Amino acid sequence: MAATGVDVATARAAAAGGREKRDYVRRIFSEIAPRYDLLNHVLSLNVDRLWRRAAVRALGIERNPAGTYLDLCAGTLDLAKAIAGNKAFRGRMLAVDFAEPMLRAGQRKLAGVAGGPVAADALQLPAADGTVAGAAVAFGIRNVADLDACAAEVLRVLEPRGRFIVLEFSTPRSPFIGSLYGFYFRRILPLVGGIVSGHPTAYRYLPESVAHFPEGGELAKRLRLAGFERVEWRPLTFGIAALHVAQKGAARG
């Protein structure tokens, strides 16, 4: 299905943020939910599985195995499944996304796990203050309408010393890798994604959203400004993705 100039312009405008972004993101991800898993693994050549494993290791579940863990912008629950499948995990899984069809498409992945998927906005998390042992988001935080408000909301629900893991696409620093990746990301991926998903703009929105998202040190700075401590980050797979680790401070009393 070919994208029109109006479709592409809408994707670009949505990537820039605000209410338009919120409505657009919920709509497109609801529409592509049935083929989302297939496209994720095909378009990433299955490397996304390795990235999620790295995110789960960084979460440090062994520090509180029986706690409640949050998968933010959970989509079809691949990250939630990876967290619940960790050998140390024996707690409760809370998987939050405001595109309910995405959650329904992946709900079988948490069969038998305490907790489960909840349709809710990342800016209004369904958890009380200081009740979440750890939180993680994989390729979803760039889709929230307000990054800083989202970070503050995650900080609110985390327990003292709870970790927040952010796995997100990035831009390779190597000119050679960057040019190859840029061609694939802006030319091949939108074409294949549009054909397989049947959606004209969903996979054109992806590179636009990455282009508007703060990377590396800038995202680390934003997390620190939100109140997180011990913020670190590292590139993955030649800089195609980045893994950020942030921690809530100790309780004061």
Instruction: Give the tens place of pLDDT for each residue, 46-76.
Output: 788 999 999 999 999 999 999 999 999 999 9
Type and span of the H or E element at 158: strand 158-169
Strand partners of residue 96: 72, 118
Q: What is the C-alpha separation between 164 and 133, in angstroms, rounded?
A: 9
Instruction: Give the tens place of pLDDT for each residue, 76-96.
Output: 999 999 999 999 999 999 999
**What per-residue confidence (pLDDT) applies to 101?**
94
Is residue 134 a part of any domain in this protein?
yes
Is residue 63 a part of any domain in this protein?
yes
CATH number, domain containing residue 74: 3.40.50.150
> Residue 220 contacts by C-beta under 8 Å, 6 or more apart in sequence?
231, 232, 233, 244, 246
**What per-residue confidence (pLDDT) applies to 124?**
95
**What per-residue confidence (pLDDT) applies to 4?**
41
**What per-residue confidence (pLDDT) applies to 13?**
61
**Beta strands at 241-247 and 158-169: parallel, antiparallel or unpaired:** antiparallel
> Residue 32 contacts by C-beta under 8 Å, 6 or more apart in sequence?
39, 197, 198, 199, 202
Is residue 193 a part of any domain in this protein?
yes
Instruction: Give the tens place of pLDDT for each residue, 139-151.
Output: 999 999 899 999 9
Provide the number of structural domains found in the chain.
1
Q: What residues make up the domain containing 231? A: 5-247
Is residue 252 a part of any domain in this protein?
no
Is residue 138 a part of any domain in this protein?
yes
DSSP class of 185: I
Is residue 50 a part of any domain in this protein?
yes
Is residue 54 a part of any domain in this protein?
yes
**Beta strands at 132-138 and 68-72: parallel, antiparallel or unpaired:** parallel
Q: What is the C-alpha separation between 194 and 188, in angstroms, rounded?
A: 10
Q: What is the C-alpha separation between 220 and 234, in angstroms, rounded?
A: 10
**What per-residue confidence (pLDDT) applies to 16?**
60
For the chain, the maximum distance between any two Cα atoms, rounded to a whole number of angstroms, is 59
Q: What is the C-alpha separation between 111 and 74, in angstroms, rounded?
A: 15
Which pair of structure tokens corresponds to residue 110?
């948490």
Is residue 253 a part of any domain in this protein?
no
Which residue numbers in the chain have pLDDT < 50? Answer: 1-6, 253
